[in-house]
A and B are shown apart, each in its own frame.
Chain A
Amino acid sequence: MSLQQSRDQLLGAYRQMKTIREFEERLHKEIMTGEIAGFTHLYSGQEAVAVGVCQHLDTEDLIVSTHRGHGHCIAKGCNVKGMMAEIYGRSTGLGKGKGGSMHIADFDKGMLGANGIVGAGGPLAVGAALSAKLDGKGKVGICFSGEGSINQGAVFEAMNMAKVINAPAIFIIEINGYSEHTGASYSVGGVDIAKRTEGFGLKTIEADGCDYHAVYDAMAELLDYSRSGNGPSAAVFNTTRFFGHYEGDPQNYREKNEVKDHRSTRDCLKKFCKDNLPSGIVTQSELDEIDASVMGLIDEAVTEARNAPPTPMEEMEADVYISYE
């Protein structure tokens, strides 16, 4: 039995998962037009993790994200149009087009940034957690990480440091099966990630990352633990990615039908519907309405990003420092 959630809460969670999904599916198409430059890593397939975690958070709980950060951003409340404009590299983007897809951040929303350096988020999240501990308001610092990133020394250090200073840091490990073109069974020595985090003394829960309720419930327990001064914890979620590592990845390391199969059997949105429609707590027509409004929002976001003014040249050397006199 999963934890009770109100109808509004469920509809909110559905809206966010759907927004992430459609944001990414649309990007997948738009990238093919050549209008979007650089590296883009899509989060489709993993929505239940970002949303199941962030449903518990407010803006004073801080998260640190990864190169695959769009989902975390949306779930943490970043402005979708500002994100799209950032990915298009426009002046109206959240980072004025200076960061790009891998560097979307919104500090007002408690979103300390996607990150181009795999593993860099661990220490930063411990810092966020340290700050929360000093403030004493029961807030947390959360580190989203792919399973590839936990092979970085920095992440080992971060887990240990969090334990040593008893910081309310929570390490969310999303196992989508691959780091770039290499499978998790190869790159993660010992393979059992939960044992690793437990080895650092982190209270650890494993759950199905394609199941919104499983994620939500696991996080309720871990947040309760870390918010009440017990120190750091970790969640290990098995999930899947519906696209390549980056857009353009031929994915020849994956079994031919893997994505198709996962889209039919491990789709967190389908699972959400199966879990919540039969009881009548949410209805199909409510979900349809959300779908339509999400599609409208994404459409507008793309149109506005395309038509937004480019980032002006004065921005080149602005913001390197606050002041440098």
Chain B
Amino acid sequence: MAIKTYREALNEVMHSEMERDSNVFVCGEDISGGAGGTSGEREASGGIFGVTAGLLPRFGEDRVIDTPISENTIVGMAVGASLAGKRGVAEIMFADFVTLALDQMMNQAAKFRYMSGGKAKCPVVIRVPYGAGMNMGAQHSQTMYNIVTSVPGLKCVMPTSPADAKGLLTAAIRDDDPVVFFEHKAMYGSKGEVPDGEYIIPFGQAAVLNEGDDVSIIAMGRMVLFAKESIKKLKAEGINCDLIDLRTTSPLDENAILDSVEKTGRVVIVDESTPRCSLASDIAGFIVSHGFSSLKAPVQQVTSPHAPVPFARELERAYVPSPENISTAVRRVMNYK
């Protein structure tokens, strides 16, 4: 075990998977940077968030492809190559730009397997930095994972720790289905212990990060970190919570959710997305349908408001669900009579 950042963990996987399998290639805007520049510095950025650093010098331009600004073809090209036997890892610079590639994701990648009666294989990974909290405004801060999760045929992965980043990205690259991999922009610098050597986390297995009999907190992505903060405070108040980190929202670990709900009967779901058609509403619906008899209080959903992400600092701070919002929701289900 060594302490690494989330960014380093991801970077390491890209290196090791490209080394391991010559079919793996990466593509995206400025994933190396510097092409056509006047300084001759060929790796000028290593990705805008540094996740793809060092790949170009090591694996060369054929497999580390800096692209023009053409999201639809960045993804479509990776999808096409994957149908033809390669394993494309495409980077979309900001999750918001997924909308420009949505045809290739939703209409193409997601459906080949099904429509070919199980003959086609589309082992593509689309990496997307997502999320609010960095004052980037309405078109550079959205979550998008709620939309992706809703699409049959796409897998949706959301690591919350450097170790999970490693285990899940390795699984994603080796998976034979299209995987959309969500990395929260505010988490790249976060640190944690990462297992050495090969490390794979199978999809569909939530992690139980805290155990308590009073309330089940179900969260994904950065919201898991906020839930952890909230749990510490609540413990001092005598409230003990389960914390379920979904890790993959599709496939969804339904058993982990139901087991916890059965134990506590009180549920708070924390989701950075806007509330309509969110993961929060989806999972709340699932619990009501499948775990109703365990419930002792209405399921609470902590989400962003039904509005675009505002730019002004004060507003954005209030927009994103906070540890305080989570604590308030937990107290509400505890106090429900």
Q: How far is the CA of A185 from the CA of B71 in the complex (A)?
A: 19
A172 at the interface (CB under 8 A from B): no
Evaluate contact between A320 and B308: CB separation under 8 angstroms: yes
Task: Find residues 68-104 in chain B having any chain A CB closer than 8 Å to their own CB.
Answer: 68-73, 96-97, 100
List B contacts of A185 (CB < 8 A).
36
Of the listed stretches B37-45, B249-257, B329-337, name the one at the interface; the rest are far from the partner chain: B37-45
In contact, B69 and A151 (Cβ under 8 angstroms): yes
What's the tally of chain B residues with a CB closer than 8 Å to chain A? 44
Q: Say yes or no: B36 contacts A187, CB within 8 Å.
A: yes
Q: How many residues of A contact B (CB 8 A)?
A: 52
How far apart are the CA atoms of A166 and B66 in the complex, in Å?
A: 35
Q: Does B212 contact A (CB under 8 A)?
A: no
Are B29 and A180 neighbours in the complex by a CB distance under 8 Å? yes
Task: Decide if B136 is an interface residue (CB 8 Å cutoff).
Answer: yes
Residues of B within 8 A of A153 (CB): 70, 72-73
Flag whether B318 is at the interface (Cβ < 8 A).
Answer: yes
The reply to whether the CB of B138 lies closer than 8 angstroms to some CB of chain A is: yes
- Taking a contact as CB atoms under 8 Å apart, the answer to whether B306 and A317 are in contact is yes
Contact partners of B68 in chain A: CB under 8 A: 148, 151, 179, 182, 187-189
Whether B38 pairs with A103 at a CB distance below 8 angstroms is no
Contacts of B35 in A (CB 8 A): 182-183, 186-187
Q: Do the beta carbons of A116 and B138 come within 8 Å of each other?
A: yes
Query: For the complex, what is the distance from the CA of A255 to the CA of B37, rounded to whole Å?
Result: 8
Take A38-B136, A253-B41, A316-B315 as given contacts and tell me if A148 and B69 are in contact as well, using a CB distance cutoff of 8 Å. Answer: yes
| A264 contacts the other chain (CB 8 A) | no
Assembly CA distance A320 to B274 (angstroms): 13
Q: List B residues 35-59 near A (Cβ within 8 Å).
A: 35-41, 44-45, 48
Say yes or no: A89 contacts B312, CB within 8 Å: yes
User: Could you tell me the distance between the alpha carbons of A117 and B67 in the complex, rounded to whole angstroms?
Assistant: 16
The answer to whether B62 has its CB under 8 Å from any CB of chain A is: no
Whether B137 is near chain A, meaning CB under 8 Å from some CB there, is yes
Write out, one digit per residue, whether chain B residues 283-307 have a CB within 8 A of any chain A CB (1) or not (0): 0000000000000000000000111
Q: A153-B70, A179-B69, A181-B45 are in contact. Are A103 and B139 (CB under 8 A)?
A: yes
Q: B232 contacts the other chain (Cβ, under 8 Å)?
A: no
CB proximity of B19 to chain A, nearest CB, Å: 25
By a CB distance below 8 angstroms, the chain B residues around A89 are 135, 311-313
Contact with B along A161-186 (1 / 0, CB 8 A): 00000000000000001111111111
User: Closest CB-CB distance, A208 to chain B, in whole Å?
Assistant: 19
Binding site of A, secondary structure by majority: helix, strand, loop or mixed? loop
The residues of B that contact A39 with a CB separation of less than 8 Å are 136-137, 140
Which residues of B (173-212) have their CB < 8 Å from a CB of A? none
Contact indicator B36/A186 (Cβ below 8 Å)? yes
User: Does chain B have a CB within 8 A of A311?
Assistant: yes
- A152–B69 CB distance below 8 A: yes
List chain B residues, Cβ under 8 A from A313.
314-315, 318
In the complex, what's the smallest C-beta–C-beta distance from B54 to chain A, in angstroms? 15
Please, how many angstroms separate the alpha-carbon atoms of A117 and B315 in the complex?
Answer: 22
Known: A100-B135, A187-B68. A315 touches B36 (CB 8 A): no
Is A102 in contact with B139, judged by CB distance below 8 angstroms? yes
Nearest CB of chain B from residue A139's CB, rounded to whole Å = 27
Q: Taking CB as reference atom, which chain B residue is nearest A115? A: B139
Inter-chain contact A98/B69, CB cutoff 8 Å: no
A182→B38 CA distance, assembly (Å)? 10
The verdict on B3 contacting chain A, using a C-beta distance below 8 Å, is no
B134 within 8 A of A: yes
Question: Would you list which residues of chain B between 125 and 144 have a CB under 8 Å from chain A?
Answer: 134-140
Contact between chains at A151 and B313 (CB < 8 Å): no
Whether B137 pairs with A103 at a CB distance below 8 angstroms is yes
Q: How far is the CA of A189 from the CA of B35 in the complex (A)?
A: 13
Which residues of B are at the interface with A, using a C-beta cutoff of 8 A? 29-30, 33-41, 44-45, 48, 66-73, 96-97, 100, 134-140, 305-308, 310-315, 318-319
Interface residues of A (CB under 8 A from B): 37-39, 89-91, 95-103, 115-119, 148-149, 151-154, 177-189, 252-256, 258, 310-311, 313, 315-317, 320
Please list the 4 inter-chain residue pairs (A to B) with the smallest Cβ-Cβ separation, ordered nearest first. A183-B36, A186-B36, A253-B37, A100-B311
Instruction: Give 19 new A-B contacts, CB below 8 A, not counting A187-B69, A254-B39, A316-B318.
Output: A39-B136, A89-B312, A97-B310, A97-B311, A100-B137, A103-B311, A116-B137, A148-B68, A151-B69, A178-B37, A182-B30, A183-B35, A183-B37, A189-B68, A252-B44, A255-B37, A316-B307, A317-B306, A320-B307
